[in-house]
Amino acid sequence: MSGPKSARYTLTPEQRRILAEARERERKTKRELDKLQQHRGELASLKERLSTATTSVDMLVDRIGDGNEVQRSIHNSISQIETIIQETAGLSKQSGLENLQVFNSKVKTIEENARKIVTQYESQSTEINAVLLKNIEDSIAAGMLVRIDDEIVKPQSHLESQKAKIKNRLQEIQSLNISSDLQEEGIAILKRVQEITDDIFIDNYYAMTVLPYIKICKAYEGQVKEYGEEFDELVSKHRYYSEYLGMPVLSFTFSMDTLNFLRNEVAELELQSAKLGEQQYISESLDQVMHDMGYRVVGSREVVKKSGRKFRNELFHFSEDSVVNVTYAANGQISMELGGADTCDREPSEEESSVLCDEMVEFCDEFPEIERRLKEKGVVLMNRISMLPPAEEYAQIINVSDYNMTEQVDVLEVVSKKQIETRKQVLRKE
């Protein structure tokens, strides 16, 4: 070892604040991108429902000149959706947090407006079809030839009327902010309704199954309205911190139990992320300082001990045939040691130990400057573990074959006094 130098470093409060703000800004940017993608999907779905609605509304306007306001609102909404989807197509992380927030606000407004129009139309669809049917019947009575659209139905029986009412109620529920499980349950209920052929049974099914389901959905939506924003934010944080820590990304469905779980889980993940971010910043700062002082990285490796402890090593070029080995431990400890380079495991010779000791002195003289520059970057000493002076007993040979080398280094080779005398004798004989 090169007069071993081991210490744990930490950040100044100001630097820790800067890192936390940068990390949160990155998270929020990613969150806005995720929200934008969700909004685009919702808008595409709403556009499809609005396009379907235009069939009956356009016919209503064409035949009796009624429904112009509804027609205009539907077509305007479709046009707005098409425009905003185009505008948001090129947005990315590079667009900046503020721009993404502005666009998301704009998209949300258009989405809410489209949803209102869809709900309004679907609640009036029965009335619209009834008006169209009456007009068609009047035309037939007057001897006029008309085309009856598939969507236009005859006067309904009680069974058909109940089915239509249930369908409308379920469509309204499907437009609410409910879970995928509740949406699937609603689809299953509607499918069952279509299979019912008895008036009494349909009434009982409506009272015993449909109404309780609607009540559950509305209660769920009430919870979403109150806690949904907090839930979405926690899910966003959980996803971001999981990715940051290299952990599996999980999916969550809103519920109060899940909300409470996320509150605790996210707090822990945030703490772990802050520690990891601090260690990464310290490592990057040391790399930059070493680089600025003329040391360049020539190799690295990851080490996992049998105990499970992890270490990361970086080799910095020091002289022609010597390197500085920097070890980063998972607990934040950093160790530095100088050694001669070779491609095998061996002990240094007496002469090599002497040469390496001289280089230790040189490196030790530069070490205070390293820590001074680290301090300028907000990295300060937390506790000194060892700071041993240069000595031949700490001389070592570092086997560079154990590292992933990005640059070749010369092998340490010091000619001993015995070798020098032998060479002199050979020269005298010659």
pLDDT at 151: 47
pLDDT at 68: 62
pLDDT in tens, 142-170: 554 445 444 444 556 888 888 888 888 88
- Whether the predicted pLDDT of 61 surpasses 70: no
Burial code (b: 16+ CB inside 10 Å, e: under 16) for 43-78 equals: beebbebbeebbebbebbbeeeeebeebbebbeebb
Rounded Cα–Cα distance for residues 308 and 314 (Å): 20
pLDDT, average across residues 41-49: 88
pLDDT at 154: 53
What is the pLDDT of the chain when averaged over all its residues? 84
Rounded Cα–Cα distance for residues 318 and 362 (Å): 10
Q: Are 20 and 40 in contact (CB under 8 A)?
A: no
- Residue 154 burial (C-beta neighbours within 10 Å; 0-12, 13-18, 19+): exposed
- Residue 79 burial (C-beta neighbours within 10 Å; 0-12, 13-18, 19+): exposed
- How far from chain centre, in Å, is Cα 369? 39
**Could you tell me what percent of the chain has a pLDDT over 90?**
51
How many C-beta atoms surround the C-beta of residue 186 within 10 A? 21
In the block, tokens 């356009």 appear at 58
pLDDT at 382: 92
- SS3 category, 408: coil
pLDDT at 2: 47
Distances (CA, A) of 339 to 170, 334, 393: 75, 16, 12
**What band does 233 get if pLDDT is binned at 50, 70 and 90?**
very high
Parallel, antiparallel, or unpaired: how do β-strands 379-387 and 322-329 relate?
Answer: unpaired
Through-space distance between the first and last CA atoms of the chain, rounded to whole angstroms: 42
pLDDT in tens, 243-261: 999 999 999 989 999 999 9
pLDDT in tens, 370-420: 999 999 999 999 999 988 888 888 899 999 999 999 999 998 876 544 443
How many C-beta atoms surround the C-beta of residue 298 within 10 A? 19
Residue 37 region by backbone torsions, left for phi larger than 0, else alpha for psi between -120 and 50, else beta: alpha
Q: Are 349 and 13 in contact (CB under 8 A)?
A: no
Does this model's pTM top 0.75? My answer is no
Lowest mean pLDDT, pick from 38-42, 324-328, 382-386, 425-429:
425-429
**What band does 135 get if pLDDT is binned at 50, 70 and 90?**
low
Rounded Cα–Cα distance for residues 190 and 168 (Å): 10
Rounded Cα–Cα distance for residues 409 and 110 (Å): 63
Which residue from 273, 279, 276 is spatially nearest to 8, judged by alpha carbons?
Answer: 279
More reliable by pLDDT, 51 or 421: 51
pLDDT at 425: 45
pLDDT in tens, 178-229: 888 888 899 899 899 989 998 899 999 999 999 999 999 999 989 999 999 8
pLDDT, average across residues 315-335: 90
How many C-beta atoms surround the C-beta of residue 285 within 10 A? 20
**In whole angstroms, how large is the CA radius of gyration of the chain?**
37
How many C-beta atoms surround the C-beta of residue 400 within 10 A? 21
pLDDT at 375: 96
More reliable by pLDDT, 421 or 230: 230
How many C-beta atoms surround the C-beta of residue 401 within 10 A? 11
pLDDT at 142: 55
pLDDT at 145: 47
- Whether the predicted pLDDT of 136 surpasses 80: no
Rounded Cα–Cα distance for residues 413 and 348 (Å): 10
How many C-beta atoms surround the C-beta of residue 22 within 10 A? 12
- Residue 300 burial (C-beta neighbours within 10 Å; 0-12, 13-18, 19+): middle
Q: Helix 158-174 crosses helix 211-245 at what angle (to 10 degrees)? A: 20
Which residue from 338, 298, 322 is spatially nearest to 410, judged by alpha carbons?
Answer: 322
Lowest mean pLDDT, pick from 131-140, 189-198, 235-244:
131-140
- SS3 category, 302: strand
